[in-house]
Structure 1
C-alpha cells in the first residue's frame, strides 16, 4: 500500500486546510495546531524548466496549469494524501481576485475530484484563534499590506486599507543597497568587486538573517543624515566559497523604513491603521484600537511591533488625527501561533466544526452552477436575514 493511502485512512474525517499565499503556502489538516508544511508557492515552468511563482500567469489557462502542478506536488510530495473524496478548506484574502477563486475551485473539483470546498476569509477567521469577534486585522504579506476592521464577526468594508507595503518592498530596498557591495575573494586573499547577479532567494535570506526594524528615535536621526553613536555590528554574508557581501550596519536598519516612510500622499503602514479606525463608527474605534491583530511573516521581524506602536502613538498627536481620534492606547494581541500561519490555524479550527458540512460547496452543487462561478464571500445569496441586517447596518 502506498504511503499516502495509509496516511489518508487516518485522516478520512479530517478536512484539508490550504492557505495559498503569493509567496508561501501552508498545508495541513483540521484540528491540528500547526501546518504539516510551509512551502514556496512555486511550480516548475514547462517552457524554461525553472521555478516560477504560481500566480505569475498570462491567462486563465496558464493559471489552471500552474495550480494543477502545484497542488499535485502539494498533495503527493509533501502531504502524502490522496485528495479524491476529501473536504477542502481554502483560506483566502478578502481582496483575492475572483479568477483565482474560480480557477482553484475548477482544479480541485474537476481535476482532483474533492468532495467539497469552503472558502474562508483570512482576516475574519484569524480572530477565531483568539476567541474574539472584534479586532483590527493588519495583514502584512509579500506584495501588500491590508488592514480590515472586523466588528462582531463582520468586515467593515468601507474602512479597508491596502498599500504595496510588504516583504517585496523591503527586499527591493535591500537589493538597491547591497547590489554594488558584492566582492570576490581571489586565491591570494584579495577582495575585488564582482558583478554577481543577486537572486531573490539570496536577498530574502539576507533580509531574514541580518535586517531588523529600528526604533523611531534612531529612524529620525538616520532620516536627517545623522549617525547614532551606537551601531549594530556589520554582517558578512557568504554566497559561496569565494563570493561575499558586506552588509553594513545602516544596511541592516534602513530597508524596513520603507514600511513606515510616508509617500507623496502621506500614506504609510501606520497611517493605514489610523485611517481605517477613523473610517469606522465612533463607538467602534476604541475597541478596534485595543484589539489589533498582526498577520504575515513580515511582522515577525525583530522590532516590528515595538516600532509600529511608537509610530501610532506619535501620529495620533498630529492635528490630522488628534482632532478626530480621541485614542491614546493601542493594544496588540499575541496569537497562539506564529504570525505567518495564524490564518491557517483559524481555518484549522473552523474545519473541526460542523460549519464545514453545513456551509461547504459540494461537487454536485458546483456542477449544477451556471458557468461554474463561485459566489463571492460577501454575496447575500445564501445568507440568513439576520446576517444581512448586520451587514446593512455596518
Structure 2
C-alpha cells in the first residue's frame, strides 16, 4: 500500500478534514475505538479517521474526593467525586516503566486509568463503550502489569466487547505505505528502536535507552536552575530561579515551544559518539558558540480561576540550543539515541541491514524538536565512520535514509503515527491479536510471556 493510497483511504473514511464524523452515544456502528495510552498523554478517537479525536493530558490528583470551597466563609468540605468531576492537579506522569516495583501503587493507578478512560468515553467521545471494540496501540516494552490493568479497566469497568493489541512500531510504519523499516520511537520515558521486516516486528533485536523526553526535561530543569534567572516585580533585579516555579507543566511548555536541536559542533566532528557533558561545564562549552536569542517566559499562577503573572523567567539562548545534547551523549550505562539505533542494526542479520538502514522512521513526541532528524543523520554518519564498534556498518553510510524525506512526514505527525496506524488497522478489520470479554481471564497477550490468546 503506497503512502498516497493510505492517506486517500483515511481521507475517504473521514467526512472532511475540518469536520470529522459525529458518533452518537446510542449508535451501534462498527467503527472501533482506538486508544494510545502514553505516560503523559492519551490519544483517543474512532477508527477510519486521519487523526485522534482528542489528545488528553494527564494530571495528578485525587480520583475519589475533592475539596468543595464555601465562599460564604465556612471554608468548605470534602465531597466524593461524581461523574461530572474532572481531575485537578499538577501535570504528571500516568505510569512508570518500573511499575512492578510498586505493588501498593497499582490500586491508585487503576483508579486513575478508570477515571481517564471513563472521561474519554463519556465526556470526549460521547459513545457507549459496550457497543464498540477497542484497538490498543502498545509499545513492545510496555509492562505486562500495566497492560493487565488497562484490560481490567476496559473489560470490568467499561465492559467493552473486545480489545485488539497492536504493536505501535508496526502501526507507525504502516502509515508510510511501507512494511519494512527501522522504527525509532523517542517518547517520554525511553527510546525504543525496533526493526520491522515485512510487517513483522523483530522483537529479539529490540534496543532501548532511558535517554528520551524525561531525560531532556530533567536536563532542562538543571540548566535553568543553574544558569537561568528571574525578575519578580516590583524588583527589577535578576534573582536565581526557585524550583517551585519550574513545574512539570512549565518545563513541558518550554520544551515544546522553545527548545531546538543544533548541528554537530565542528570541533567534535572527528570523534565517535559524544561522551556526557556535566551541567557545570556546559556554559563554558556552548555559550561562546551559540547564536540563539534569550527568551523571556512569563510565570503565572491561577487563583480562583484567574491568571496572575508572578514574574518573568529568563532562559539563556544557548540552553535552548544545546539542552537536547543529552539525547546524543551516551556512555556504557546509557546508550545515546544514535548508539541505540546502531546497536540494533548490528544485532540484525546482515542481509536485512541495508533495507532497514534505508527506511528509518522517527516517531514519538521528542522527535518533533526542530532539526532533530538532521542532527540524528549527522550523528549516525559520524559514529559509523569514527567509532570502532560500528566499523562493520560503514558500508551502509551511503544508504542511510529517512522515510520522512519522501514526503510521508508531511502527512502525519510523528507523535500520532501509532494512533493513525491503529485507526487504519481498525477500519480494515485486519487480523491482529484480539481478546474478547467472554474469554478474558485476567491475562493479556505479550511477546515476553507464553500466554496463548485466540487471534481473530
Please list every run of 5 or more consecutive structure 2 residues that lacks an aligned counterpart in the other structure: 1-21, 67-88, 97-101, 270-280, 301-308
Q: Deviations over 1:186-233 (max 9, x none)?
A: 336444445351101101111122111010126849978365556111
Match of 1:333 in 2: 403
Say if 1:119 and 1:377, in contact at 8 Å, map to a contact too.
no
Deviates most, 344-353 or 55-64: 55-64
Change (3 A) 1:208 1:226: closer
3-state SS, counterpart of residue 314 of structure 2:
strand
Deviations 1:293-352 (A, max 9, x none): 111010010010000000001111123212455211211112431000100000000000
CA distance in 2, matches of 1:192, 1:20: 40
Instruction: Tell me if structure 2 keeps the 8 A contact 1:166–1:298.
Output: yes
Find the partner of 1:244 among 312, 315, 332. 312
Cα distance in structure 2, aligned partners of 1:247 and 1:101: 40
Task: Verify: 1:363 aligned to 2:437, yes or no.
Answer: yes
SS in 2 for 1:340: coil
The aligned counterpart of 1:316 is 384
Contact in 1 for aligned 2:224/2:241 (Cα 8 Å): no
Partner Cα distance (1:59, 1:291) in 2: 40
Per-residue Cα deviation, 1:21-76 (whole angstroms, up to 9, x for no partner) = 11111101000001001111345324785355332673432222221111111112
Tell me the distance in 1 between the aligned counterparts of 2:334 and 2:159: 49
Mapped pair 1:205 → 2:256: no
**Hey, what's the Cα distance between the residues in 2 that align with 1:17 and 1:325?**
41
Aligned to 1:41: 58
Q: 1:137 to 1:189 in 2, by over 3 A?
A: same
1:13/1:214 Cα in 2 relative to 1: closer, same or farther (>3 Å)?
same
The offset of 1:377, in angstroms, is 4.5
Report the counterpart of residue 54 of structure 1 in structure 2: 94
Bigger mean CA offset, 141-150 vs 50-59: 50-59
Computed over aligned residues only, the root mean square deviation of the Cα atoms, in angstroms, reads: 2.6
Q: Which residue number in structure 1 is paired with residue 234 of structure 2?
A: 187
Equivalent residue pairs, number: 375
Match of 1:389 in 2: none
Report the counterpart of residue 376 of structure 1 in structure 2.
446
> What is the correspondence of 1:1-394 to structure 2 with a 5 Å cutoff?
7-9=24-26, 12-42=29-59, 44-46=61-63, 50-51=89-90, 52-55=92-95, 58-180=104-226, 181-187=228-234, 189-193=236-240, 195=242, 197=244, 198-217=246-265, 220=268, 225=285, 227=287, 231-240=291-300, 241-265=309-333, 267-318=335-386, 319-328=388-397, 329-334=399-404, 335=408, 336-355=411-430, 359-366=433-440, 369=441, 372-377=442-447, 381=452
State the shift of 1:165 in Å.
Answer: 1.1
Q: CA deviation at 1:236?
A: 1.0
Structure 1 unaligned spans of 5+: 385-394
1:43–1:69 Cα contact (<8 Å) kept: no
SS in 2 for 1:256: helix
2: CA distance between counterparts of 1:15 and 1:174? 39
What is the TM-score with the length of structure 2 in the denominator? 0.76
Contact 2:194 2:207 in 1 (8 A): yes
Range 30-39 or range 81-90, more displaced: 81-90
